[in-house]
Amino acid sequence: MQNDGGKMKFQKPITEIIKMRSSCRTYDSREVEDETLQKLNDYIEEINSEAKGRARFIIINQNSKYNGSAQSLGTYGVISGANSFIVGIINKNNQDACSFGYLFEKIILYATDLNLQTCWLGGTFKRDDFVRLANLQDNEHIPIVSPVGYKKGKARILESAMRKLAGSDNRKQWDELFFDGDISKPLDKNHDGSYDEALEMVRLGPSASNKQPWRIVKNNDMYHFYLCRTKGYGLADYDMQKNDIGIAMCHFELTAKESGFMGSWEELKNIDSPDGWEYVITWTNYM
Protein backbone atom coordinates (compact mmCIF):
# COMPACT_ATOMS: atom_id res chain seq x y z
CA MET A 1 0.00 0.00 0.00
CA GLN A 2 1.24 3.47 -0.85
CA ASN A 3 1.50 6.03 1.91
CA ASP A 4 1.51 9.81 1.82
CA GLY A 5 5.09 10.29 2.91
CA GLY A 6 3.95 11.78 6.19
CA LYS A 7 2.24 14.80 4.65
CA MET A 8 -0.59 15.91 6.93
CA LYS A 9 -3.74 17.79 5.96
CA PHE A 10 -5.30 18.03 9.41
CA GLN A 11 -5.52 21.17 11.52
CA LYS A 12 -5.87 19.38 14.87
CA PRO A 13 -3.58 16.64 16.24
CA ILE A 14 -4.63 13.29 14.82
CA THR A 15 -5.02 11.80 18.30
CA GLU A 16 -7.48 14.56 19.18
CA ILE A 17 -9.42 13.95 15.98
CA ILE A 18 -9.64 10.19 16.58
CA LYS A 19 -10.91 10.79 20.11
CA MET A 20 -13.42 13.38 18.84
CA ARG A 21 -14.94 11.08 16.24
CA SER A 22 -18.07 9.19 17.18
CA SER A 23 -20.90 7.69 15.17
CA CYS A 24 -23.76 10.16 14.77
CA ARG A 25 -27.17 9.00 13.57
CA THR A 26 -29.30 12.07 14.35
CA TYR A 27 -28.46 15.22 12.36
CA ASP A 28 -29.51 18.84 12.38
CA SER A 29 -31.21 19.47 9.04
CA ARG A 30 -29.15 22.60 8.28
CA GLU A 31 -26.85 22.46 5.29
CA VAL A 32 -23.10 22.20 5.61
CA GLU A 33 -21.60 25.56 4.63
CA ASP A 34 -20.33 25.79 1.05
CA GLU A 35 -16.76 26.57 2.15
CA THR A 36 -16.63 23.55 4.47
CA LEU A 37 -18.19 21.25 1.89
CA GLN A 38 -15.71 22.46 -0.71
CA LYS A 39 -12.76 21.69 1.59
CA LEU A 40 -14.11 18.20 2.14
CA ASN A 41 -14.70 17.66 -1.58
CA ASP A 42 -11.16 18.88 -2.40
CA TYR A 43 -9.70 16.40 0.08
CA ILE A 44 -11.83 13.61 -1.36
CA GLU A 45 -10.38 14.37 -4.78
CA GLU A 46 -6.88 13.89 -3.31
CA ILE A 47 -7.94 10.55 -1.87
CA ASN A 48 -9.38 9.56 -5.26
CA SER A 49 -5.96 10.23 -6.80
CA GLU A 50 -4.34 8.08 -4.11
CA ALA A 51 -6.82 5.26 -4.86
CA LYS A 52 -5.54 5.02 -8.45
CA GLY A 53 -8.80 3.67 -9.86
CA ARG A 54 -9.26 0.90 -7.28
CA ALA A 55 -11.94 2.97 -5.58
CA ARG A 56 -13.48 6.41 -5.66
CA PHE A 57 -15.47 8.57 -3.28
CA ILE A 58 -18.08 11.25 -3.91
CA ILE A 59 -20.36 13.56 -1.96
CA ILE A 60 -24.09 13.44 -2.61
CA ASN A 61 -25.93 16.36 -1.09
CA GLN A 62 -29.45 17.73 -1.11
CA ASN A 63 -28.80 20.85 -3.16
CA SER A 64 -26.99 18.87 -5.89
CA LYS A 65 -23.90 21.08 -5.60
CA TYR A 66 -21.62 18.10 -6.14
CA ASN A 67 -22.75 14.74 -7.48
CA GLY A 68 -26.45 14.39 -6.82
CA SER A 69 -29.42 14.91 -4.55
CA ALA A 70 -29.64 13.16 -1.19
CA GLN A 71 -33.40 13.54 -0.94
CA SER A 72 -35.29 10.33 -0.19
CA LEU A 73 -32.13 8.27 0.27
CA GLY A 74 -33.09 5.28 2.37
CA THR A 75 -31.29 4.29 5.56
CA TYR A 76 -34.10 2.20 7.10
CA GLY A 77 -34.65 4.87 9.75
CA VAL A 78 -31.11 4.50 11.12
CA ILE A 79 -30.12 8.03 10.04
CA SER A 80 -32.31 11.08 10.64
CA GLY A 81 -31.93 14.62 9.29
CA ALA A 82 -28.81 14.17 7.13
CA ASN A 83 -28.67 16.24 3.94
CA SER A 84 -25.29 15.03 2.68
CA PHE A 85 -23.60 11.65 2.29
CA ILE A 86 -20.09 10.48 1.48
CA VAL A 87 -20.41 7.53 -0.89
CA GLY A 88 -17.63 4.96 -1.27
CA ILE A 89 -17.44 3.14 -4.60
CA ILE A 90 -15.16 0.17 -5.23
CA ASN A 91 -14.06 -1.64 -8.37
CA LYS A 92 -15.76 -5.07 -8.33
CA ASN A 93 -12.79 -6.59 -10.13
CA ASN A 94 -10.27 -5.32 -7.57
CA GLN A 95 -12.05 -5.44 -4.20
CA ASP A 96 -9.31 -4.53 -1.78
CA ALA A 97 -11.46 -3.94 1.29
CA CYS A 98 -8.43 -3.23 3.45
CA SER A 99 -7.23 -0.38 1.23
CA PHE A 100 -10.80 0.88 0.86
CA GLY A 101 -11.30 1.10 4.63
CA TYR A 102 -7.93 2.85 5.00
CA LEU A 103 -8.89 5.51 2.44
CA PHE A 104 -12.45 6.00 3.67
CA GLU A 105 -11.26 6.47 7.26
CA LYS A 106 -8.91 9.23 6.09
CA ILE A 107 -11.98 11.03 4.72
CA ILE A 108 -13.93 10.39 7.94
CA LEU A 109 -11.09 11.86 10.02
CA TYR A 110 -10.77 14.87 7.73
CA ALA A 111 -14.52 15.51 8.07
CA THR A 112 -14.14 15.25 11.85
CA ASP A 113 -11.33 17.80 11.70
CA LEU A 114 -13.84 20.13 9.98
CA ASN A 115 -16.16 19.62 13.00
CA LEU A 116 -18.56 17.47 10.96
CA GLN A 117 -20.23 14.31 12.20
CA THR A 118 -20.27 10.99 10.34
CA CYS A 119 -21.39 7.36 10.69
CA TRP A 120 -20.08 4.30 8.85
CA LEU A 121 -22.98 2.47 7.14
CA GLY A 122 -22.34 -0.91 5.54
CA GLY A 123 -25.63 -2.77 5.70
CA THR A 124 -28.25 -0.22 6.75
CA PHE A 125 -28.80 1.78 3.59
CA LYS A 126 -30.80 1.17 0.42
CA ARG A 127 -28.12 0.68 -2.19
CA ASP A 128 -30.46 1.18 -5.13
CA ASP A 129 -31.18 4.73 -3.94
CA PHE A 130 -27.48 5.58 -3.88
CA VAL A 131 -26.68 3.70 -7.09
CA ARG A 132 -29.29 5.80 -8.89
CA LEU A 133 -27.44 9.03 -8.05
CA ALA A 134 -23.82 7.86 -8.16
CA ASN A 135 -23.65 7.06 -11.92
CA LEU A 136 -21.96 3.72 -11.33
CA GLN A 137 -20.10 1.88 -14.04
CA ASP A 138 -20.89 -1.80 -14.64
CA ASN A 139 -17.76 -2.86 -12.71
CA GLU A 140 -18.52 -0.71 -9.63
CA HIS A 141 -20.19 -1.42 -6.30
CA ILE A 142 -21.12 0.72 -3.25
CA PRO A 143 -20.09 -1.09 -0.04
CA ILE A 144 -20.05 1.85 2.39
CA VAL A 145 -21.67 5.28 2.79
CA SER A 146 -21.62 7.84 5.58
CA PRO A 147 -23.89 10.76 6.34
CA VAL A 148 -21.98 13.96 6.97
CA GLY A 149 -23.29 17.03 8.74
CA TYR A 150 -24.00 18.54 12.14
CA LYS A 151 -25.24 16.62 15.14
CA LYS A 152 -28.68 17.41 16.51
CA GLY A 153 -28.60 18.30 20.17
CA LYS A 154 -30.47 15.30 21.55
CA ALA A 155 -30.03 11.74 20.29
CA ARG A 156 -33.15 9.78 19.38
CA ILE A 157 -34.15 6.79 21.51
CA LEU A 158 -33.35 4.55 18.50
CA GLU A 159 -29.80 5.94 18.28
CA SER A 160 -29.15 5.45 22.00
CA ALA A 161 -30.51 1.90 21.80
CA MET A 162 -28.31 1.08 18.78
CA ARG A 163 -25.18 2.36 20.51
CA LYS A 164 -25.96 0.28 23.59
CA LEU A 165 -26.75 -2.85 21.55
CA ALA A 166 -23.51 -2.57 19.56
CA GLY A 167 -21.44 -1.69 22.63
CA SER A 168 -20.19 1.35 20.73
CA ASP A 169 -18.74 2.99 23.83
CA ASN A 170 -16.78 -0.11 24.88
CA ARG A 171 -13.39 -1.17 23.61
CA LYS A 172 -11.35 -4.32 24.20
CA GLN A 173 -8.48 -4.01 26.62
CA TRP A 174 -4.87 -3.54 25.46
CA ASP A 175 -3.83 -7.09 26.42
CA GLU A 176 -6.58 -8.58 24.24
CA LEU A 177 -5.32 -6.85 21.10
CA PHE A 178 -1.54 -6.31 21.18
CA PHE A 179 1.19 -8.90 21.69
CA ASP A 180 4.98 -9.10 22.01
CA GLY A 181 6.66 -11.75 19.85
CA ASP A 182 3.73 -14.17 19.94
CA ILE A 183 0.20 -14.36 21.31
CA SER A 184 1.31 -15.92 24.59
CA LYS A 185 2.74 -12.58 25.75
CA PRO A 186 0.57 -9.45 25.80
CA LEU A 187 2.50 -6.32 24.88
CA ASP A 188 3.47 -4.15 27.83
CA LYS A 189 1.71 -0.82 27.33
CA ASN A 190 4.92 1.00 28.25
CA HIS A 191 7.26 -1.36 26.42
CA ASP A 192 9.34 1.41 24.87
CA GLY A 193 6.97 4.31 24.41
CA SER A 194 7.53 4.68 20.68
CA TYR A 195 4.35 3.22 19.21
CA ASP A 196 2.17 3.13 22.31
CA GLU A 197 0.07 6.07 21.13
CA ALA A 198 -0.36 4.63 17.63
CA LEU A 199 -1.54 1.33 19.12
CA GLU A 200 -3.93 3.11 21.48
CA MET A 201 -5.46 4.96 18.51
CA VAL A 202 -5.99 1.56 16.84
CA ARG A 203 -7.75 0.36 20.00
CA LEU A 204 -10.10 3.37 19.87
CA GLY A 205 -10.96 2.88 16.20
CA PRO A 206 -14.47 2.20 14.88
CA SER A 207 -15.39 -1.22 13.50
CA ALA A 208 -18.48 -2.89 12.10
CA SER A 209 -20.80 -3.74 15.01
CA ASN A 210 -17.84 -2.88 17.28
CA LYS A 211 -16.30 -6.33 16.68
CA GLN A 212 -12.73 -4.90 16.87
CA PRO A 213 -11.21 -7.70 14.77
CA TRP A 214 -7.65 -6.33 14.67
CA ARG A 215 -4.74 -8.04 16.43
CA ILE A 216 -1.16 -6.79 16.31
CA VAL A 217 2.04 -8.68 17.15
CA LYS A 218 5.24 -6.67 17.65
CA ASN A 219 8.43 -8.38 16.48
CA ASN A 220 11.50 -6.15 16.89
CA ASP A 221 10.88 -3.18 14.53
CA MET A 222 7.91 -4.81 12.83
CA TYR A 223 4.22 -4.71 13.72
CA HIS A 224 2.28 -7.59 12.14
CA PHE A 225 -1.45 -6.91 11.63
CA TYR A 226 -3.83 -9.88 11.82
CA LEU A 227 -7.57 -10.30 11.36
CA CYS A 228 -9.43 -12.27 14.03
CA ARG A 229 -12.75 -12.92 12.33
CA THR A 230 -16.15 -13.13 13.95
CA LYS A 231 -17.52 -16.33 12.41
CA GLY A 232 -20.55 -15.84 10.21
CA TYR A 233 -20.34 -12.05 10.37
CA GLY A 234 -20.29 -9.65 7.42
CA LEU A 235 -21.86 -8.99 4.05
CA ALA A 236 -21.66 -11.60 1.33
CA ASP A 237 -20.46 -9.12 -1.32
CA TYR A 238 -17.91 -7.19 0.74
CA ASP A 239 -15.40 -8.10 3.47
CA MET A 240 -16.41 -5.75 6.29
CA GLN A 241 -13.82 -7.06 8.70
CA LYS A 242 -10.97 -6.55 6.23
CA ASN A 243 -12.38 -3.03 5.89
CA ASP A 244 -11.94 -2.68 9.67
CA ILE A 245 -8.26 -3.65 9.37
CA GLY A 246 -7.88 -0.76 6.90
CA ILE A 247 -9.31 1.60 9.54
CA ALA A 248 -6.79 0.29 12.07
CA MET A 249 -3.94 0.79 9.59
CA CYS A 250 -5.06 4.37 8.96
CA HIS A 251 -5.06 5.22 12.68
CA PHE A 252 -1.71 3.51 13.25
CA GLU A 253 0.07 5.16 10.33
CA LEU A 254 -1.23 8.70 10.82
CA THR A 255 -0.48 8.65 14.54
CA ALA A 256 3.00 7.18 14.04
CA LYS A 257 3.91 9.79 11.44
CA GLU A 258 2.58 12.64 13.55
CA SER A 259 4.76 11.29 16.39
CA GLY A 260 7.79 11.48 14.09
CA PHE A 261 8.15 7.76 13.34
CA MET A 262 8.47 6.63 9.76
CA GLY A 263 7.84 3.26 8.24
CA SER A 264 6.20 1.40 5.39
CA TRP A 265 3.57 -1.27 4.80
CA GLU A 266 4.53 -4.60 3.27
CA GLU A 267 2.73 -7.91 2.84
CA LEU A 268 5.36 -10.42 3.94
CA LYS A 269 5.57 -13.99 2.72
CA ASN A 270 5.63 -17.12 4.88
CA ILE A 271 4.22 -15.46 8.00
CA ASP A 272 2.63 -17.93 10.38
CA SER A 273 -0.80 -17.10 11.74
CA PRO A 274 -2.16 -18.21 15.12
CA ASP A 275 -5.22 -20.44 14.97
CA GLY A 276 -8.27 -18.45 13.96
CA TRP A 277 -6.26 -15.43 12.79
CA GLU A 278 -5.41 -14.27 9.26
CA TYR A 279 -2.19 -12.40 8.55
CA VAL A 280 -2.87 -9.18 6.63
CA ILE A 281 0.11 -6.80 6.53
CA THR A 282 3.21 -5.55 8.36
CA TRP A 283 4.40 -2.09 9.32
CA THR A 284 8.20 -1.88 9.44
CA ASN A 285 9.66 1.01 11.40
CA TYR A 286 12.81 2.54 9.88
CA MET A 287 13.51 5.46 12.17
Q: What is the pLDDT of residue 115?
A: 97
Q: What is the pLDDT of residue 214?
A: 98
- Measured CA to CA, the distance from residue 195 to residue 199 in angstroms comes to 6
Nearest to 238 by CA among 160, 104, 143: 143
- Measured CA to CA, the distance from residue 50 to residue 42 in angstroms comes to 13
- Measured CA to CA, the distance from residue 216 to residue 251 in angstroms comes to 13
- Cβ(125)–Cβ(74) under 8 Å? yes
pLDDT in tens, the chain (287 residues): 544 444 468 999 999 999 999 999 999 988 899 999 999 999 999 999 999 989 999 999 765 555 554 455 767 678 888 889 999 999 988 889 999 999 999 999 999 999 999 999 987 788 888 888 888 988 999 999 999 999 987 655 555 555 455 455 689 999 999 999 999 999 988 766 689 999 999 999 999 999 999 999 999 999 999 999 998 776 678 999 999 999 999 999 999 999 999 999 999 999 999 999 999 999 999 86
What are the φ/ψ torsions at residue 195 (nearest 5 degrees)? -110, 10
- Measured CA to CA, the distance from residue 107 to residue 35 in angstroms comes to 16
102: enclosing H helix or E strand: helix 97-113
Domains located in the chain, CATH noted:
23-163 (3.40.109.10), 170-285 (3.40.109.30)
Q: What is the pLDDT of residue 5?
A: 42
Nearest to 81 by CA among 44, 42, 119: 119
CB atoms within 10 A of CB 47: 19
Q: What is the pLDDT of residue 6?
A: 40
Q: What is the pLDDT of residue 157?
A: 56
Sequence-separated (6 or more) residues with CB below 8 Å from residue 158? 25, 77, 78
Q: What is the pLDDT of residue 147?
A: 94
Q: What is the pLDDT of residue 74?
A: 67
Is the overall model pTM greater than 0.85, yes or no? yes
- Cβ(15)–Cβ(255) under 8 Å? yes
CB atoms within 10 A of CB 251: 26
Q: What is the pLDDT of residue 11?
A: 95
- Measured CA to CA, the distance from residue 81 to residue 235 in angstroms comes to 26
Decide the pairing of beta strands 117-118 and 140-149.
antiparallel
- Measured CA to CA, the distance from residue 287 to residue 278 in angstroms comes to 27
Q: Which residues pair with 87 in a beta bridge?
A: 58, 145
